[in-house]
Structure formats: structure tokens, C-alpha cells
Chain A
Amino acid sequence: MIHNVVKENAYFDSVTLMLFSSKLNVIEGIEEAAVMMGTDHNIDLMLSSKVLTKEVAEKVTSNDLVIGIRAQSQEVIDEAIAVLNEQFENKNKDAKKQDVVVKTVRAAVSEKPELNFSIISTPGRFAKKEVLNCLKNDINVMLFSDNVTLEDEKELKELAVEKGLLMMGPDCGTAIINGVALGFANVVNRGNIGIVAASGTGLQEVTVLVNEFGGGLSQAIGTGGRDLKEAIGGQMALMGLEALNNDPNTEVIGLISKPPSTAVMKKILEKVESFEKPVVACFLGGDKSIVENSSIYDAYTLENAARYLVALANDQEPTPAKELTLADVKPLSKNNKGQYIRGLYTGGTLAYETMLLLNESLGNVYSNIAMDKDFELENPELSVKHTVVDMGEDYFTDGMAHPMIDPRLRSERIKKEVADKETAVVLLDCVLGYGSHEDPAKEIVKAIQEANHSLVDREVDYVASVTGTELDPQVRSQQVSKLESVGVVVLPTNAQAAQYAALLLQSKGGQQ
């Protein structure tokens, strides 16, 4: 039996058309189903394949959507019609959701005068105007936009500080305010630890580890990546620290960043000296001496920052994580003939921490975010010896979604690295939470399975960490299970994953 549905001048995108087709083709009893535009050619094909009647064929045009179903019985056709109607209804519901409530800040404020928080994501050169609108209306701001000038950032933060408001950003993608995860953030327990961070995935790693170690968050304030540079003067970091010090719900304070400028460091130290609450700082890659003789607890890694924060919140002496040794490491696969580590990261700070740690143990790590220009990748698409790639960097995200949202580019790169005979270990992050891909581990697993097809008479080892919690939509333990099912060694933290990978090579006598 043949049944046809025609939607005249119906413009559904190809993904939707494929979805309709796939829903129909799994119905038992369907002999053939086609969902296609009514072009001359397609009509001929559908006629010759007996999924279209002549009467319908005579009426359709190229811009009509034609659905052809050939089935064993009327019952099957009825089921197919019900499935189609459900799909069309879902599309209509999606369309209605796009109604805009307000178009301006003024309209929003007059609609809801009690508004006190905004998230702004506009092209950089329009951001300032919108931020000013918000600040002048006493609305705190999380500014997602990048391409904002340093001068504008300075001006906006000066106004925010003057008014006692937060201006988190620009390029701030992560915050947790009053228990609400904003941007790329994770679901964590509430508690008495407050954090200020000039680093998105750095903040995510520390907050999920605080959660893991039994602690909880009062607030997690993002400042934007440039806040601690001299031009900005650490305005939001200082304000955030002050706010946490005055917050009755916060008993321990954390600060996560790359090393600040000397002048800003001095201001931070002066500010913190007056605090009674303990402060833990993780200045990734920073010289330990910068916090010597201060009251700040210096954490070398993001993991240690979390450990110290939780210990201090429980009135315990902070102790660093035990470093992994060769005894903790399973040997490399028997047939692993490679020499190098290839780290492929979606989180910039996670890549940065890994690069630092691998440089310490193996040395000479190439990267697209290398501090030493001698080890900067000439072509970010081509790895050289030990390489760590931040796939969220502008080179990869120009015109593409960030890899934490759309992992396709990283999946392709995994396959490419595995196909390279010099690769011994592929090292990965897997970042969960709101804003991230709905199932990043599934995509990694698929990439690994496809990559392993290219292995002839050799093996590659995979190491990863998962940044997330059990409360995240993706559920951390489920993501870990998926990765382990294809042989990935999953470590509890990013730092441990980097250490493990280095030790794996050393266990073989890998080349430096």
C-alpha cells in the first residue's frame, strides 16, 4: 500500500527532513519510506520505486515536501501517519518558542523593575552600550562577548566598581551566582567556599573538585581573562574578593588565574592581608615566590586548589595531592610503538595546565598556546612530537561552534592523531555541565572506535579526565563508564591525567 503526504512550499531544513525519514524507517512493516523535496528527479525516482502515486506526482512542485510510504498494511500506514503528525507538531512548538518578549533593556526594566542580573552576548563593538544600559539601571552583568577593547573594559569595570556591581567579563563564560549555574557551568553543592576566577574551565575544574571532595560553593565569580592584566588592574578580581570576604555565607576564598601582572599582584596581596578568611590562590605557571611571605595558600594545580579550599573549609590543614608514581600506572599496551603524547583539549585552562605539567616531566611540549615561541605550532592542525592543542582557540572556532558544544572537529583530530604512527598516547578532557554537548563521552567513544580501525599492527593508549558532577545533565559516572568501555584510562582530575600520561611514556622509556 502507498500513502503520500505533500506539504506545499514547505521549507524544513535538511536535519529535520532526515529526522522525519529516520523516524519512519524504523517502523516495523514499512517497506520503503522517502522524505524528499518534489524535484522532477525525485518524483521520477519515487514513482519508479513505487512510493508515490501518479495522481500526487502530477500535482507537486520542486518546492513541495513529498513523503512517500510503502507499507504492508493500513495499520502500519496509520502508525506512520501518527509519527509524522507528532514530528510536525514538535516543529510547530519549536517555532512558537521563538517569540521575543522584550527587545531593549529599558523594556525589560519597565516590565520587571526588580531585575538585578543580565547576561550579555552581542558582537563586541555593541557590548559596551548594552553593558552601560544595564549598569546604569543597577543590573549586574555577565558579559559573554569578546572583541571588547581594553579601554572599554576598563571604563565599564570602573563604573561597576563605583556602583558596587559585578561586571564579569568580557569573554566570561562561567559563573555560579547564588547557586545558579551560568554559561558553561556545572551543578555543584552549595557551601561556604567562594571563588574568583579569570579562567573558565579552570573555574569548572575547581568547582567540580570542591564538590567531589565534599565541599560546596557559595559563589563562583568569573572576571574575564584580562582582568588581572595591568591595563585593567584586577578591578573585578579585587571587588570579587572583597565581596566574598564580606559575604556571611563564605568562609574560605579561592582565586584562580594565570599569573597576574606585578602591580596587580601587589594590590591583591595588600587586599588579602586584611582578610580574616583564608585565601587559596592557583596562579597557573606562576613563580611560587610571588606569594611567598604572604598569607595566601599557594596551590600549584587546580586539583590542589580544590583540596586546600575544602580542607580549610573544614578547619583542617591543607595538604597537596599525592603525586602519581610509576607504581600507579598500568603499562602501555603491548603493541604501542609510538613515542609521543598528543593532548587534544576543549577547555583552554585545562590545556594550559596539562602543557605546564607535561613540560615539567617530559619537556619540549609544542602547543598552539605555548608560552615559549620556540614551541609554538607552526600549523595548529599538525602536531609535532609532544603536542597539546587547545581546540577552543580562535583558529578552530572561527565560524564554528566551540568544541565543548560541537565536538566534531576534535573527533576528526583524534582520528588523525591515532593514524599518526608516532602517537603513543592521546590525552583528552571531557567537560560536562550546562552549555556543554549533551553527551561528549559518546562522541569521544565514536571517534576512538573509528580511529582504531586505522591501526594496523600497533596500538594507541588513551587517557582522559572528566570535569563534571553526578548532578550535571550528562551525569559524570555515566560519562566515565562510556570512556572506560573503549579502554580509556580515566583519572579523577586534569592534573592527574597529565601526570599519568607522562608516566605511561616513562614506563616505556618514551623519548623526550
Chain B
Amino acid sequence: MIIQIFKYSASLQPLLSKPTTCEIHSIFDSTINIYCQHKLIALSHKTAPLTPMSINLDCSASVFESLNIKKEDDVLLDDNGIILNDQRLFDLVGQAIDLSYPVYHKEIDDEELILLKANIDSLLLSTSSKGLLLNSWRTLFYNYPKESSFLQSYLYDSLVDIKQESNLRKQARKISNLIGAGEGLTPSGDDFLCGILAIFTYLSKDETISELKKQVVKQVKKNAHKTTDVSREYLLYASEGLFNEYVSKCFREHNHNQPYLQYLHKISTLGHSSGTDFLVGMYFGLEIGGIL
């Protein structure tokens, strides 16, 4: 049975333009990562959120989980799709999705940005998600009790440091110092960084934020190799202003004054703590950007 490609990230189009031999990088329940020309492609099912490195197949999560793919399987990419062990499994007829979003068109002190920050604040306070970075945020802004682990202390101190730093370059360095730090397949520090970059991209009309973004991106590109393969890909895409579809839709809707809360909710549910770590990053991006 041929499984079609439902949708894929438009940023993958150059990779899909000519036949390329790839290899299976890693296999999870709802994602299979393929290593192709020094980049990762993430295969997933129809309802998984699309990321800049995603190809989503037109099948349910349970069908995807039952695909019999092993690490040693051969993979060939061509302009018609993917061939696995000499058998064409997927056809490239799905939709290429552009995950970029426009820059916010109003000034930095706009009410809608203050509301965005308040909504993120409310979500971070009320979520039942767990994570040391989230705990650190709650301790920093709401005096929640601090856990005693070394990692918790480190993350808390880092957030305090970033918040208190007034020099742009130093602040960029401190933000980027979190690359590879923390728990998870995508360490918390990386997700936090991606969240900050998402906001900086959105608010890059402002000169100060644009400069700060430039500094952070420089550090990210220099140090992205110091984290896991999967996380590195996300960081590099974030440097180019590309994030998953929930983020893209959130900012597009916000920009047009349309309901966007459902996308913030969806971001918060990603991974074990990746989503909330990302939101903490967004919050910090707004805080550093001067949105009070």
C-alpha cells in the first residue's frame, strides 16, 4: 500500500529535488528521523505538528507506529518521494508548507504584545506540565519554592543572570550559553533559546531586538554543534526564523488580531517539557524586548 505525503516543510524542497541516498538516524513512536546530506528529515504521521524538518505522511498515528522500519534499512530520496528498501512507500504529492511568518507591524509597546505576554504568563502558571526550566521561571517570577537539584539551581541562576544583564552582547552570550543545557532529547536550554528567537524574529522591526537577535544567531551558529543532532537542527532553523506550525500559526493569527490562544496551548503540550520550555523562552524574549 502506498502511503502519500500529506504535507511537508517547504524548507526541505532543495533536499527533495534530486536522488539522494540517506540513512535512518533514529526511530521513535511518532517520528522517524532520516539523515540526508548532513541534515535531518523527520517523518511523522498526519496529525503531528509540522516542523521545519518535517514530512508528514497521510496516515494515522497508529498506522505510522506500525510501519516496519529499522535502523539498518536503506532509504533513497528522489523528486517523487521516498523509497525504502527498494519499495516505493511514499509519493510526493502533498502540500509544501511555508512555516515563516510576518514581522509584527506595530510598535513594541503595543497592547496586543502586552496581552500576548499575559497569556503566556497565565498558561505557564496554570499548566500541569513538569520541567525544571518551568519551575525556575515560576520561582523567579512568582516565588515558587526551588527544587534542590543541581540542574534546577543552574537553570534558575541562568535565568536570573539573563534577566539582569543590560549589555546587549553579554545578554546574547548568556542566552546562547544555554545551548545543550538541561534534560530531554532536545535539552531545555535549546528549547528556551528557540522560544526567544521566535519572539525576536516576530519583533525584529524594532532595532534593538533586531541587533540582539543578530548577536544570538551568531552565537547559535557557532555553538549549535555542541548539542544533540535533533536539537541542533531546530536551533539552526530557528536562526533562520523557522519554527513548527503552531508557532507560525500563532504569530500569523496574532498579527491579524485573530484568536491565537489555541496555538499557545498546543505549543505548551509539545514533548515532555519542550513546549513549556519554548514558552518560557517566548516570555523571556518579550521581557527582554521591553514588553512589561
Contacts and interface: CB of A to CB of B under 8 A. Distances in A.
B234 to A, nearest CB: 13
A308 B130 CA distance: 48
Interface residues of A, number: 51
Contact of A11 (B26, B68, B123): B26
A123 B46 contact: yes
Interface string A22-45: 000000000010111101111001
B33 to A, nearest CB: 8
A396 interface: yes
Interface stretch (B9-17, B105-113, B263-271, B281-289): B263-271
Given A42-B181, A400-B266, A446 B128 contact: yes
Q: For the complex of A and B, list the 3 residue pairs with the smallest distance between their C-beta atoms, beginning with the closest.
A: A39-B180, A11-B26, A49-B150
A104 B1 contact: yes
Given A103-B1, A381-B259, 5 more contacts: A35-B183, A45-B181, A123-B58, A382-B259, A411-B128
B127 A41 contact: no
B173 to A, nearest CB: 14
B250 to A, nearest CB: 13
30 contacts: A11-B26, A11-B28, A11-B33, A11-B185, A13-B271, A14-B184, A14-B271, A17-B184, A17-B185, A18-B184, A34-B149, A34-B183, A35-B183, A36-B183, A37-B184, A39-B179, A39-B228, A41-B226, A41-B227, A42-B180, A98-B65, A98-B68, A100-B66, A122-B59, A125-B58, A396-B262, A415-B126, A447-B128, A450-B126, A451-B126
A450 B123 CA distance: 12
A450 B126 CA distance: 7
Contact of A409 (B65, B187, B265): B265
A113 interface: no
Contact of B228 (A32, A49, A62, A411): A62
Interface string B103-140: 00000000000000000000100111010000000000
A509 interface: no
Contacts of B184: 14, 17-18, 37
Contacts of B181: 39, 41-42, 45
A39 B123 contact: no
Interface residues of B, number: 60
Contacts of B154: 45
B8 to A, nearest CB: 15
A99 B186 contact: no
Nearest to A382: B259
B232 to A, nearest CB: 8
A39 B187 contact: yes
B29 interface: yes
Contact of A12 (B1, B58, B185, B271): B185
Interface string B40-57: 000000111100000000
Contacts of B59: 122-123
Contact of B182 (A13, A36, A40): A36
A248 interface: no
A395 interface: yes
Interface of A: 11-15, 17-18, 21, 32, 34-37, 39-42, 45, 48-49, 51, 62-63, 98-100, 103-104, 121-123, 125-126, 379, 381-382, 395-396, 398-400, 408-409, 411-412, 415-416, 446-447, 450-451
B37 interface: no
A416 B126 CA distance: 9
B235 to A, nearest CB: 12
Contacts of A17: 183-185, 272
B75 interface: no
A51 B154 CA distance: 15
B291 interface: no
Interface in B170-190: 177-187, 189
A399 B47 contact: yes
B131 to A, nearest CB: 9
B139 to A, nearest CB: 17
Nearest to A406: B269
Contact of A37 (B127, B178, B228): B228
A122 B183 contact: no
B185 A126 contact: no
A376 to B, nearest CB: 14
Given A37-B187, A41-B187, A11 B27 contact: yes
- The listed residue with most A CB atoms (<10 A of its CB), out of B59, B127, B185, is B185
Contact of A41 (B49, B179, B186, B225): B179
